[in-house]
Chain A
Amino acid sequence: MADIVLDKVSKSFPDGTVAVQDVDLEIADGEFVILVGPSGCGKSTTLNMIAGLEDITSGELRIAGQRVNDKAPRDRDIAMVFQSYALYPNMTVRENMAFPLRLAKLDKETINAKVDEAAKVLELVPLLDRKPANLSGGQRQRVAMGRAIVRQPKAFLMDEPLSNLDAKLRVQMRTVVSRLQKQLGTTTVYVTHDQTEAMTLGDRVVIMRGGAVQQVGPPQELYDHPRNLFVAGFIGSPSMNFLHAAVQDGSLHTALGEVPLGDRVRRELEAADAPRELILGVRPEHFEDAELVDEDTRRRGLEFEAPVEIVESMGSDKYVYFTVEGERASAAELEELAADAGAGDFAGGGGNLVTRLSAESPVVEGQSRRVWFNLEKIHLFDPTNGRNLTLHEGRAAGALAD
């Protein structure tokens, strides 16, 4: 077990493309860190550099305090789990799991004992004599995990290990991974493009975009206090609503009405180079049916009325889609996020707003409805650089803060 430190680690390819740029990251001993981001953000390259499968162009990588930049993967004492599982097709489950131990020249008895123990933990005992071709996806995944844990390496590196599983199994395996990591207490770096996996699994999440780290923190912190537009849009499902907002006389003109501003944000906007146009971000759960909000709460927010387009009842609550007029928020980050979601060329319903209302709300599709939203929970972003203007000392404080 060991800590892993990335000190200004960069990777550029011979053709000039920079895959990873100046990544600084300190992963504590026993920590579970998730690298997350859209495809091509450099997360897998970063993982491969930790594993030693890709050369580091500049910067330093230390495992357990030791510089390992020039060490071969086999000298780093790390174990990796791949999306494709990468099981050796000619070996049985037992042989697959024993492979790293055999290479380490352990004696037969120790190998057998270790493999049996790992197989027990992962419930692979009845499958030990099968070949990978005769296993289901979930079983192969567990064998790949087993091959990683038998060695008791300094760290586990996992490259989208659950992405090839179907949705139900993925949720199930998520808990398996989580439990295993806690049980073994081994430092783990886990790469995924799925923000749900990132939120549920890790102690800390590293959000990457275009080879650079956007924000590092515990999942809840990233969710509540996103440092920029990209992080805000990437974390959360359904994702945050973004609306165009124009600064005018100390308040904001938005499609949801006039948003008053607190002193702090106002001061921020008085600077000479401050943007005149902003992007307003509101998470779906910070809306509520105006009828269901009591007086006290009502004062902390703002109300607006809009036609209901679609109601999706989830049982516990309702996802209600509203049509709102007004300009669409636009920024490079938002386009990138849309492209990653596969909707880059699909404008969808224009200024649609996703809200999560109480199940008791009597909303009906096609009718207008009054909706309240919490001004203390909104975020304001500078569209030119994506910065979150409502953030103060790392905490988001909404629009009204003094």
Chain B
Amino acid sequence: MSISATPTGANTAVEETRRQTTVPTQRGGRRKPPLSENKKAERRLGWLLCAPAALVMVAVTAYPIIYSVWLSLQRYDLRFPDQREFIGLENYVTVLTNEFWWTAFGVTALITVVTVAVELVLGMGLALIMHRTLVGRGLVRTSALIPYGIVTVVAAFSWRYAWTPGTGYLADLFSDGAPLTERASSLAIIMLAEIWKTTPFMALLLMAGLALVPEDLLKAASTDGATAWQKFTKVMLPVMKPAILVALLFRTLDAFRVFDNIFVLTAGGNETSSVSMLAYNNLIRGLNLGIGSTMSVLIFITVAIIAFVFVKLFGTAAPGSDDGERR
């Protein structure tokens, strides 16, 4: 993104065409030149330096993942340990044909889409405010980040009390029933709690992206005749795109694993369970390691697919590159 002076000299049109014909462009032949000894040594050193961290990662993530995949292929219920048996993909068939799973999946998808979308809009607004504030910048940023600093469970409890008829001020203010006992209003409150809590995080990530937009670019757009909105959509957003995608990726993955707010607010009642909630209920409460693990693996796969889609998007959308190659 940085626009640096490359002292290669101004090429006239003639020189330019000559250069193009002699040197195969990146777009044409994508052959990489063989690595020099120096480069190879550098690469080896890179791997060596990564190795300790990579080993720790394998120990704490790869093992549990493999273990839960192994569990998901077995009939394994701690209440009937004698019936433990390898059953292949039968657990997956059970889960994927189960109506509870799909309800929970739908709830999770709804929460994910709605919260991430609202957070993106609100977070962008908040980021712009924090970025542009001149007076009391520290105060504005600190107060905006407070919700994110509160432990989720604590925040969730305060939401629960606020919506409890009789004791809560919100319940008295906005409804005459008990909103946490009905499905639609419960979901709305869960999403509200999620949005309230994680918008600051989104704003923080987006603010980092805003800092990437050079001041000169906005000035140039102003003199080129852009309105404030056009500057935002045509100049800022494209430059910020990688930061926005990172923020969306982080938040989507997070939102899809939503658990604590639901656990505290409804405990999954009235069909408000998320997939994580369902997996927890089967695995920890129901002691059904086989089915619970199957659900965990399915969540893992879904999250991996989301991540894959996002990363693929990055690859094709990095600004300032013609064919999306990393520089």
Contact = CB atoms under 8 A, between A and B. Distances in A.
A72 B230 CA distance: 14
Nearest to B16: A126
A80 B214 contact: no
Nearest to B8: A136
A210 to B, nearest CB: 24
Given A85-B3, A86-B220, A157-B223, A138 B11 contact: yes
Contact of B227 (A74, A80, A142, A168): A74
B223 A103 contact: no
Contact of A78 (B16, B20, B223, B239): B223
B225 A103 contact: yes
Contacts of B211: none
Interface residues of A, number: 51
Contacts of B5: 137, 164-166
A134 interface: yes
Given A86-B219, A89-B319, A134-B322, A100 B225 contact: yes
B21 to A, nearest CB: 11
B320 A131 contact: yes
A309 interface: no
A73 B3 contact: no
Given A74-B223, A74-B225, A137-B5, A82 B216 contact: yes
B230 A84 contact: no
B239 A136 contact: no
Nearest to B14: A123
A396 B270 CA distance: 94
A169 B9 contact: yes
Interface in B212-235: 214, 216-217, 219-227, 230, 234-235
B220 A80 contact: yes
A364 interface: no
Contact of A103 (B12, B214, B226, B320): B226
B100 to A, nearest CB: 45
B224 A79 contact: yes
B322 A131 contact: yes
Interface string A113-134: 0000000000101110011111
A133 B7 CA distance: 14
A339 to B, nearest CB: 25
Contact of B222 (A72, A123, A173): A72
Interface in B231-268: 234-235, 238-239, 241
A157 B230 CA distance: 22
A324 to B, nearest CB: 39
B6 interface: yes
A248 interface: no
B17 interface: yes
B83 interface: no
A341 B227 CA distance: 40
Contacts of A82: 216, 219-220
Contacts of B9: 136, 138, 166, 168-169
A52 B222 contact: yes
Contacts of A83: 216
A141 B10 CA distance: 9
B23 interface: no
A173 B10 contact: yes
A152 interface: no
A140 B11 contact: no
B79 interface: no
A74 B234 CA distance: 15
A88 B3 contact: no
Contacts of A169: 7, 9-10
A80 B223 contact: yes
Contacts of B220: 80, 82, 86, 88, 147
Given A82-B219, A104-B225, A123-B13, A89 B7 contact: no
A80 B319 CA distance: 23
Contact of A140 (B3, B214, B217, B319): B3
B226 A74 contact: yes
B322 A84 contact: no
Contact of A84 (B3, B20, B223): B3
B145 to A, nearest CB: 27
Given A72-B222, A132-B320, A86 B217 contact: yes
B139 interface: no
B238 A90 contact: yes
A88 B223 contact: no
A85 B322 CA distance: 19
A237 interface: no
A84 B322 CA distance: 20
Given A84-B214, A88-B238, A123-B12, A103 B230 contact: yes
Contact of A130 (B6, B214, B217, B322): B322
Interface string B274-312: 000000000000000000000000000000000000000
Nearest to A163: B5
Give 8 nearest A-B pairs by CB, closest first: A138-B10, A90-B238, A86-B220, A89-B320, A133-B320, A137-B5, A100-B224, A166-B7
10 contacts: A53-B222, A53-B223, A73-B222, A79-B223, A86-B214, A89-B1, A126-B20, A137-B5, A137-B7, A168-B9
Given A89-B320, A104-B225, A126-B13, 11 more contacts: A52-B222, A74-B226, A86-B214, A88-B221, A88-B235, A100-B225, A131-B322, A133-B320, A137-B8, A141-B10, A169-B9
Interface of A: 48, 51-53, 72-74, 76, 78-80, 82-91, 99-100, 103-104, 123, 125-127, 130-134, 136-142, 147, 151, 157, 164-166, 168-169, 172-173
